[in-house]
Amino acid sequence: MQNYLEKFYPIFVGPSIRITCIAALCLFVMALAGCVKDRPVEETGAIREEIAGEEQPEPQKPAGPSPRALASLKLTDQGRRHIETGEADRAIRVLEQAISLNPGNGQNYYYLSEAWLMKSFPAKARQFNRLAESHLTGDRDWEKLVTRQAERITKLEEKIKKSR
């Protein structure tokens, strides 16, 4: 029998049989891969619900502010206290950290503007006052504070111009 195979089907004898088997296996796997149909994510979710017999609950989002926002609020309060005690440089460092954690908190910009006013840098104070204004629109109390701060910045600018 082996002579017959060697004579008419030489690929079934020796090391070439391994290559032939591997090639056939690869063709088989590729054929099977073409038969599998991908399902959209929505469809698989519906199938899971059908299998479970009930709807799957949606993951709940954490309630309240994020840890970064909470840390930023603590730094904002710390910066405000530094301003109250006249420590403008410390307030600036702390408030810059607060802004890096939560750039959407307009109070940080307001207090940073206050610190620069304390140091008599009206250009920097004006820059942060404008940012505070853009972030605190809609809150009347803060809008009043920001407007008064802008007026104080203007007075400081005029005072500096007169002294030159």
Q: Given CA atoms 16, 22, 26, 27 in this order, what sign does their dihedral have?
A: positive
Residue 152 and residue 93 share a domain: yes
Residue 72 and residue 40 share a domain: no
The amino acid sitting at 98 is: A
pLDDT per position as a tens digit, 127-159: 999 999 999 999 999 999 999 999 999 999 999
CA dist 81 and 78 (Å) reads 5
Residue 37 belongs to what domain range?
2-52
Output the CA angle 130-78-105, nearest 5 degrees. 35
Report, as an integer, the average pLDDT of 99-106.
95
Report, as an integer, the average pLDDT of 9-29.
61
Residue 91 and residue 36 share a domain: no
Q: Residue 159: which region, alpha, beta or left (left: phi > 0; alpha: psi -120 to 50)? A: alpha
Output the CA angle 93-83-112, nearest 5 degrees. 50
Residue 159 and residue 113 share a domain: yes
> What pLDDT, on the 0 to 100 scale, is given for residue 11?
53
Question: How confident is the prediction for the chain on average, in pLDDT?
Answer: 81
Percent of the chain's residues with pLDDT above 70: 62
Helix axes 106-118, 67-84, angle to 10 degrees: 20
Residue 136 and residue 104 share a domain: yes
Residue 87 and residue 149 share a domain: yes
CA dist 98 and 73 (Å) reads 7
Say yes or no to pLDDT of 41 above 60: no
> What pLDDT, on the 0 to 100 scale, is given for residue 48?
55
Strand (E) or helix (H) holding 76: helix 67-84
113 falls in which pLDDT band (50, 70, 90)?
A: very high
Say yes or no to pLDDT of 114 above 70: yes
Say yes or no to pLDDT of 107 above 80: yes
